[in-house]
């Protein structure tokens, strides 16, 4: 069982061919099934390969075929539970399909994003891009190579690449309507960095939703903060400092919403009684904290799957890039449910 050849390194296709008494081409075809091979030969080749412990050299194969069976995953922050969940789903799918996953964590740095894209171009067949939305021109070099890209979650303003997004505008509107219905009168919007399309869209949807409910713009106060727990803490502090009359808060992200909830608590403001809070994402921690967080659920698993499948499609059959928008749904929990409700 351990016939691993003498001194030298790994077994090559040539070794297998010799051992099976066929040409190297036949060995290759028997293994890959690229063209018909006599049943007897195929049998011998398979046996030899197993016996010698042959492992095809992927690098050589890549050099020859130009394919890598590998995709890149460019993400702003693995530490964020929302993205971590999607990474997990995508990794599972990639593994099933025999693709490797090259992970890049940009830390919201647009420079790293474009740099990694150019670097990945040489070693992956395509990339799933959770963009920090750098100007498209920065990415021209990477895209010039015709690297298939599917943008996910965070929008990416460029023609010719696929996209999988949530209905962020609709979600923002739902949040606004819900907060009004729950008894909010003065509204705080904890937006994300301006460069993030999700932040821009959710904010826009929120403002539109309030307007639709007849809320005067003067009753909407906006603050910008990073997409993180600490961002939420710090953001809400600024918000309540400047506008203590705010009694309903929409955060563009659950991370922020949770941070805001804790900070509000530390500032002596009870959620939901003194402050209604609504987040976005529905990460698992949203339902764990007290009070449980009302939020807009994104179908992250569905988006991850769709994005992966579309990328594989682009890579293997080279179809036309598509854009898919997933609906979001309101998940009502304690953070917007006042006991003293009407």
Partner DNA sequence: ATGAAAGCGCTAACAA
Partner DNA sequence: TTGTTAGCGCTTTCAT
| Partner that binds at residue 13, options DNA, a copy of itself, none, CB closer than 5 to 8 Å by kind | DNA
Beta-carbon neighbour count of residue 244 at 10 Å?
11
Residues 235 and 263: their CA atoms lie apart, in Å, by: 9
273 part of the interface to a copy of itself, by CB under 8 A: no
Query: Do residues 259 and 233 lie in contact, with contact meaning Cβ atoms separated by under 8 Å?
Result: yes
Nearer to DNA, 20 or 179 (CB): 20
How far is residue 340's CA from residue 105's CA, in Å, rounded to a whole number? 45
CA angle 328-299-211, nearest 5°? 15
Residues at the contact surface with DNA, assessed by CB under 7 A = 9-10, 12-14, 21-26, 28-29, 31-32, 34-38, 40-42, 54, 56-57, 60-61, 63-65
DSSP β-bridge partners for residue 329? 297
Answer whether 168's CB lies under 8 Å from 228's CB. no
Closest approach of a copy of itself to the CB of residue 79, in Å: 5
| DSSP strand pairing (100-105 vs 149-152) | unpaired
Using alpha carbons, select from 165, 90, 75 the residue that is nearest to residue 129: 75
| Residue 250 found at the interface with a copy of itself (CB under 8 A) | no
The option from a copy of itself, DNA, none interacting with 255 (CB < 5 to 8 A, set by class) reads none
The reply on whether position 84 binds a copy of itself by CB under 8 A is yes
290: partner contacted, choices a copy of itself, DNA, none (Cβ within 5-8 A by kind): a copy of itself
**Alpha-carbon dihedral angle through residues 57, 74, 284, 79, given to the nearest 10 degrees:** 100
Q: Select the span of 99-107, 170-178, 197-205, 309-317 touching a copy of itself (CB under 8 A).
A: 99-107
C-beta closer to DNA: residue 13 or 246: 13
Binding residues for a copy of itself, rule: CB under 8 A, are 4, 10, 53, 55-60, 62-63, 68, 70, 73, 77-79, 81, 84-85, 87-88, 91-92, 95, 100-105, 107, 112, 116, 118-123, 141, 144-145, 229, 258, 262, 284-285, 288-290
């Amino acid at each position: 069982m351990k016939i691993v050849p003498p001194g030298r390194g790994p077994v090559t296709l040539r070794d297998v061919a010799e051992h099976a008494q066929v040409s190297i081409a036949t060995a290759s075809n028997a293994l890959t099934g690229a063209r018909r091979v006599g049943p007897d030969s195929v049998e011998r080749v398979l046996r030899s390969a197993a016996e010698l412990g042959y492992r095809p050299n992927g690098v050589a194969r890549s050099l020859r075929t130009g394919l890598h069976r590998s995709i890149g995953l460019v993400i702003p922050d693995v530490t964020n539970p929302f993205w971590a969940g999607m990474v997990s789903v995508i990794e599972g799918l990639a593994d099933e399909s025999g693709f490797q996953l090259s992970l890049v964590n940009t830390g919201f740095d647009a420079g790293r994003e474009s740099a990694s894209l150019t670097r990945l171009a040489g070693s992956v067949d395509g990339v799933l891009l959770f963009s920090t939305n750098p100007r498209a021109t920065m990415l021209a070099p990477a895209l010039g190579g015709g690297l298939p890209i599917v943008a996910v979650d965070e929008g990416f303003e460029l023609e010719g690449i696929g996209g999988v997004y949530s209905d962020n505008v609709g979600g923002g509107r739902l949040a606004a309507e819900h907060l009004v219905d729950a008894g909010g009168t003065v509204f705080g919007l904890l937006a994300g960095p301006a460069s993030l399309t999700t932040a821009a869209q959710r904010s826009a949807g929120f403002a539109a939703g309030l307007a639709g409910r007849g809320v005067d713009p003067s009753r909407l106060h906006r603050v910008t903060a990073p997409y993180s727990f600490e961002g939420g803490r710090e953001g809400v502090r600024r918000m309540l400092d400047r506008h203590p009359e705010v009694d309903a808060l929409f955060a563009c992200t659950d991370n922020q919403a949770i941070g805001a909830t804790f900070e509000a608590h530390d500032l002596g403001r009870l959620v939901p009684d003194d402050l209604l809070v609504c987040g976005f994402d529905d990460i698992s921690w949203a339902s764990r904290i007290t009070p449980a967080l009302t939020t807009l659920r994104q179908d992250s698993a569905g988006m991850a799957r769709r994005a992966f499948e579309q990328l594989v499609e682009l890579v293997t059959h080279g179809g036309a890039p598509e854009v898919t928008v997933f609906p979001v749904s309101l998940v009502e929990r304690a953070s917007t449910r006042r006991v003293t409700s009407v």
